[in-house]
Copies of this chain bind each other. A is one copy, B any other.
C-alpha cells in the first residue's frame, strides 16, 4: 500500500500531519507504554521507532541514547508521586504513607523500578521527593543526619522491592500463566523444596519453611519499612 502522491491541485500546505510530529514527549510516552505493557526487556529503540512508524535513527534527534530515554521515562513516573505537607505531630505516619505512595506508583509501573536501581537518581523529581521526605522527618524531630541517610536507605528499599516485584512479573510473563496461580505455584515449590531438605543439616529451614514462604510481598515490604521507621523513631531526642 504505497502512498499515492497527492493530486497537484490540492494545496500542498500541511502535507503530512497524518503522522504526529516526532517529539521527545511522544517518544517518552511511547516508551513508557511499551515498558508497562510488555516489560522493560521489550523496550528497544527499534521497538519504540516501530510503534511510531519510523526507523530507529529518527529517535536520536530527540533523545541522546537509550540511557537518556530510560532516565526520562523514570522521571515521568516519579511525577505521579504526591507528597503531603509536614505535620510535625505525626511524622512517622506521614513518612509511612509517603513511602507506600511511592511503592504504589512503582507497582503500577512495575518494570520502571529496575531503572531506578540501575542509575543513581538525581533528576528534578527525585529531588522533589527527597525534599518532601526530609521536611517531614526534620520537622518531626528526626536528627537531620539520620533523616538524610534514611532517605537514601528508604529509596533503596522501595526500588529493590519494586525490582523484585518486576522479577516475578517477568517470570510470569515468560511462563504464560495467569498471575495468581503462577506465584502461588512458585512459592509452593519453594516450600516443598525446603521441607524436603535433610533435617539434620537444615533444621531451621525445614521447620520454619512456612514462615519463610508465606508472607506476601506487601507484608515483607511493610515489615522492612516498619523496622526502619521504628529505629528512626528511637533516634528522635524527645523520645529518649
Contact = CB atoms under 8 A, between A and B. Distances in A.
Interface of A: 117-120, 122, 127, 130-131, 134-135, 138, 144-153, 156-157, 159-161, 163-164, 167, 190, 193-194, 197, 201-205, 207-208, 211-212, 215, 219-220, 223-224, 226-228, 230-232, 234
Interface of A: prevailing SS: helix
Nearest to A155: B160
Contacts of A146: 223
Contact of A156 (B160, B215, B231): B160
Given A131-B205, A212-B151, A226 B231 contact: yes
Counting every copy of the chain, the complex holds 2
B118 A167 contact: yes
B228 A149 contact: no
A153 to B, nearest CB: 4
A153 B120 contact: no
Contacts of A117: 117, 160, 163
Given A122-B190, A160-B117, A152 B230 contact: no
A150, A207, A227, A228 interface centre (most CB from chain B within 10 Å): A227
Contact of A149 (B145, B157, B202, B220): B220
Nearest to A117: B163
A166 to B, nearest CB: 10
